[in-house]
Structure 1
Amino acid sequence: MLARIRSLPRGGQRPGREGEFDRRLIAPMVLGSVLNPVNSSMIAVALVPIGTAFGAPPAETAWLVSALYLATAVGQPVIGRLVDTHGPRRLYLAGTALVGVAGLLGALAPSLGLLIAARVLLGLGTSAAYPAAMHLTRSEAARTGRDSPAGVLTALAVANQTVAVIGPTLGGLLIGAGGWRAVFAVNVPLSLACLVLGAARLPRRPARARRTSARLDGTGIALFAAMLVALMLFLMKPQAAHWYLPAAAVAIACAFAARELRVRDPFIDLRTLAGNRPLIVTYLRQLLGYTASYAFLYGYTQWLEEGRRLTPSAAGLVLLPLSGAALAVSAATGRSTAVRGKLVVGSFLQLAACSAMLSVGTGSGIWLLVAVGILAGIPQGLIGLANQAALYHQADPARIGSAAGLLRTFTYLGAMAASAANAAFFPHGATTAGLHHLALFMLGGAALLLALVLPDRSLRRLAPAAHN
């Protein structure tokens, strides 16, 4: 018995049987990963009531969206690198604890400024779980000798992509039950659940972390953060008068590249990344795919409330079938290793969804509004699942956390581009004409996505034997 106890990892976690993924890890991995996409999306139906409560125009409430995106885009690869060097447990626990603090701050905030601060903290806190989950998935694959734990990757994809579209429905129900502050307060029990599961099940000292002695590239991280901040501030309100922001982003990017090419252990290994063309294309696909997805999520939801005159609760219910469609397609195709097939079908369906948006108007029946949402939900499930699987096989295993975090960065760059498009096409509210112009913008992005997918031969090779 003593020998059996000593065989357990520190932290009390029983290892999975040889050759099998330790399924005790799945619950904290998935639940932690839910925090970011849910908080990213359920705020969509809360913007109008928050603006009413504080007398704030849409230009000010838009910061509630942008603040989380900005914090997450910077935080994900930074915390992912910390996960790679120090292991996932401490970063996971610290991040999910911060989510609870941010949720409480938002629920009690007396001003819009404190709400925005709460969203920044939510962005940073939710940045830990996904890189930690990808790190654990790769570590378990190395331990079991099974390189493609398709069932686990599917569970993460459902949590990180499909759950995002449940956000508006959940947000609408929470607002109906307890007002917009409930959208923040719900993070407190979610945080507590993550802390309990994480403390009980995550290993204290993964073997990969013990072998890593790399120093953290603080200067590189600071330059990377400054570059993203300048770029995303411009995307939040692109105007000719703000020309200095993209100029600053380019200048900082040059300094960042010079720094990363010179140091021994860079934050982002640009030489390796430059030689990994398939991974770069995966990042670009993520950017294009989620520009269209988030433009739909926020633009369509805002139009349902302002243009179609639905209540937040009703708008959330109209989008519920969208969530079901994304969930169903992720569950049905998750174990398939046909990455290219998912991307091709997803790209064509995204084109179809954007085209269908051109047919809706203030007099459209609920059935048509629901049908458009279902059509938009299917590619959301396919594209996110495929890009995650592609990254898992394309990224350097020693940097899987930072690579996964960078995938999220491109997700939120797409979200910021979508936010800028919404602001441009809805300057005085979400009109039907503005929605149709937004749909044309999304059509262009979907066409570019398809143009990246069809000629990419490297996707055909991403089909190893799948295992649970």
Structure 2
Amino acid sequence: MTDRTTAVTAPGRRRDGAPALDRRLVPPMVIGSVLNPINSTVIAVALVPIGAALGASPAQTAWLVSALYLATALGQPVVGRLIDLFGPRRLFLAGTGLVGVAGVVGTLAPDLGTLIAARVVLGFGTCAGYPAAMALLRAESRRTGQDSPAGVLTLLAVANQTVAVVGPLLGGLLTGLGGWRATFALNVPLSLLAVTLGALRLPSSEERPERSSDGPGPLRRIDLPGMALFAVLLLSLLLFLMHPHPDRWYLPPLTLAAAVAFTVRERRTEQPFIDVKVLGGNTPLLATYARALAAYVVAYAFLYGFAQWTEEGFGLTPLQAGLVQAPTFLVGIGVSVLAGRRGGIRTTLLVGAAGQIAACLLMLTLGAHSPLWVLLVLAVLFGVPQGANGLALQNSVFLQSDPARTGSSAGLLRTFAYLGSMVAAAVTAAAYGPHAGTAGMHQLAWAMLGAAVLFLLLTVFDRALRTLRTPARA
């Protein structure tokens, strides 16, 4: 019987006669995986116009960013698990179709509440792209006999880096030409393209999931109570991290109670949403998630926290601040390509750790009168971990996760990344207070340095990385 996640699009062969990666799968995988990051960045320059048009304060429009992060952090592992059960095609088409619906709702939204709801729908819709791509790569790995198609893994990382560069610029262009609503309307053609490519090119042999002879069918393997407890756990944690204030004292106990209930539930059920027994025994994968959390605390603190200081503490305009950070993403693209071709996973992580620590130390030397070229050097330094860490973490999860749970494992990686972003936002707010001054920037740099050192220690003392084989190129 043909595996229901095996490609059916007549793939070719390599020169040695072995099966080759079906490259017709690459376009839908790439466009699906970038839907989330492009919507994370394209709205950045539209927040002020949205506030002016709808009479909303900056604190209110900030929910347009947080709503997407909350929905995505929750939805990625849930949708990833559904992909594991039903295959990538169905979830990819449903998710990318939902992106188009959110684009229409956002374009026509009469008020901020509707706009936030559209961003929540958008967050859930974009959840399918990345786990689907990883699940497809796992199926292609089985079919071709390669450990993993490293060329495509690198392409996914580079595509996300590229989106980070062009997202704010594209958002500015769209806002200038068609107003802030154009940043939502963008999702309609993107959705149509993704759905069309997915319908034409993604494997359809999973259309009718088979009931296995030794277990329940896919529908009976959906752990709804586990998913609900996970939602309570994650939402209470994220809401507290977004605004850690004494009046939200009830959220940490609620998080703890949900975590205990979730663990008990998942250990006792036969078909868990997240197999905590297996995950708990997979120390290398847990270490990778911990590294991801530390890495993204540093990355998001720099992208958002340091940018605030360049405007308020250093005196740059928003456009100048954006241009100062551009080298970070450009260098990140180059590092991703180089690491994908030459570097082993452990080596790449060590390079990323060194880049983080060097950049944080340089931040501690900056002041309001530092020369502009030093800020550009800092941006270049941060480009090294920007490119190295994302690729190495992605490859680690692919190689360390249970093959039957590739989708949910990939979703959890994104969830830990968003946890890092929330921690970074909380640390930034605590460091700056009402004004992003130099003293606050130095406090932020010390916190970032602590996370960077933790990332280094988690890498140096992880023996599993020494034997983790670099994926073969496709």
Taking structure 1 as the reference length, the TM-score comes to 0.91
Q: Deviations over 1:119-172 (max 9, x none)?
A: 211210110010000000000010111112111111122234553354334434
Assess, with a 3 A threshold, how the Cα gap between structure 1 residues 128 and 19 changes in structure 2: closer, same or farther: same
Contact 2:242–2:422 (8 Å) recurs in 1: yes
Equivalent-residue separation in structure 1 for 2:186 and 2:148 (angstroms)? 34
Aligned-pair identity in percent equals 59
Match of 1:138 in 2: 138
Q: Deviations over 1:325-345 (max 9, x none)?
A: 110110111133511111111
* Residue 60 (str. 1) matches residue 60 (str. 2): yes
Q: Deviations over 1:357-397 (max 9, x none)?
A: 33444455543333322221220110111111111111000
Match of 1:116 in 2: 116
Equivalent-residue separation in structure 1 for 2:428 and 2:454 (angstroms)? 19
Assess, with a 3 A threshold, how the Cα gap between structure 1 residues 144 and 446 changes in structure 2: closer, same or farther: same
Match of 1:225 in 2: 231
- Measured after TM superposition, the shift of residue 174 of structure 1 is 3.7
Match of 1:89 in 2: 89
* Residue 430 (str. 1) matches residue 436 (str. 2): yes
* Residue 342 (str. 1) matches residue 348 (str. 2): yes
Contact 1:131–1:402 (8 Å) recurs in 2: yes
Match of 2:10 in 1: 14
Q: What is the SS of the residue equivalent to 2:40?
A: helix
What amino acid does structure 1 have at the position aligned with 2:75? Answer: G
- Measured after TM superposition, the shift of residue 300 of structure 1 is 2.6
What amino acid does structure 2 have at the position aligned with 1:102? Answer: A
* Residue 286 (str. 1) matches residue 306 (str. 2): no
Contact 2:44–2:168 (8 Å) recurs in 1: yes
Match of 2:393 in 1: 387
What amino acid does structure 1 have at the position aligned with 2:30? Answer: V
Q: What is the SS of the residue equivalent to 2:341?
A: coil
- Measured after TM superposition, the shift of residue 206 of structure 1 is 4.1
Assess, with a 3 A threshold, how the Cα gap between structure 1 residues 429 and 135 changes in structure 2: closer, same or farther: same
- Measured after TM superposition, the shift of residue 209 of structure 1 is 5.4
Assess, with a 3 A threshold, how the Cα gap between structure 1 residues 48 and 295 changes in structure 2: closer, same or farther: farther
- Measured after TM superposition, the shift of residue 56 of structure 1 is 3.5
Equivalent-residue separation in structure 1 for 2:451 and 2:89 (angstroms)? 38
Q: What is the SS of the residue equivalent to 1:334?
A: helix
Assess, with a 3 A threshold, how the Cα gap between structure 1 residues 371 and 166 changes in structure 2: closer, same or farther: farther
User: Which residues of 2 match residues 267-286 of structure 1 at below 5 A?
Assistant: 267-286=273-292
Query: Which residue, out of 372, 380, 383, partners 2:378?
Result: 372
The root-mean-square deviation of aligned C-alpha atoms, in Å, is 2.4
Contact 1:89–1:202 (8 Å) recurs in 2: yes
Q: Deviations over 1:12-31 (max 9, x none)?
A: 83334352110000111011
- Measured after TM superposition, the shift of residue 61 of structure 1 is 2.6
- Measured after TM superposition, the shift of residue 48 of structure 1 is 4.0
Match of 1:403 in 2: 409
Contact 2:95–2:124 (8 Å) recurs in 1: yes
Equivalent-residue separation in structure 2 for 1:89 and 1:373 (angstroms)? 39
Contact 1:336–1:466 (8 Å) recurs in 2: no
User: Which residues of 2 match residues 240-251 of structure 1 at below 5 A?
Assistant: 240-251=246-257
Contact 1:172–1:316 (8 Å) recurs in 2: no
Contact 1:343–1:453 (8 Å) recurs in 2: yes
Deviates most, 166-175 or 151-160:
166-175
Equivalent-residue separation in structure 2 for 1:20 and 1:413 (angstroms)? 37
- Measured after TM superposition, the shift of residue 312 of structure 1 is 4.0
Match of 2:301 in 1: 295
Assess, with a 3 A threshold, how the Cα gap between structure 1 residues 364 and 43 changes in structure 2: closer, same or farther: farther
Match of 1:441 in 2: 447
Q: Number of aligned residue pairs: give it.
A: 460
Contact 1:103–1:188 (8 Å) recurs in 2: yes
* Residue 187 (str. 1) matches residue 194 (str. 2): no
Assess, with a 3 A threshold, how the Cα gap between structure 1 residues 187 and 372 changes in structure 2: closer, same or farther: farther
What amino acid does structure 1 have at the position aligned with 2:447? Answer: F
Match of 2:32 in 1: 32
Equivalent-residue separation in structure 2 for 1:122 and 1:371 (angstroms)? 36
Assess, with a 3 A threshold, how the Cα gap between structure 1 residues 361 and 290 changes in structure 2: closer, same or farther: same
Equivalent-residue separation in structure 2 for 1:121 and 1:80 (angstroms)? 17
In structure 1, the gaps of 5 or more residues are: 1-8
What amino acid does structure 2 have at the position aligned with 1:91? Answer: L
Contact 1:154–1:331 (8 Å) recurs in 2: yes
Assess, with a 3 A threshold, how the Cα gap between structure 1 residues 254 and 310 changes in structure 2: closer, same or farther: same
Q: What is the SS of the residue equivalent to 1:319?
A: helix
Assess, with a 3 A threshold, how the Cα gap between structure 1 residues 436 and 116 changes in structure 2: closer, same or farther: farther
Assess, with a 3 A threshold, how the Cα gap between structure 1 residues 441 and 222 changes in structure 2: closer, same or farther: same
Equivalent-residue separation in structure 2 for 1:358 and 1:120 (angstroms)? 37
Match of 2:74 in 1: 74
Equivalent-residue separation in structure 1 for 2:278 and 2:340 (angstroms)? 29
Deviates most, 37-46 or 346-355:
37-46
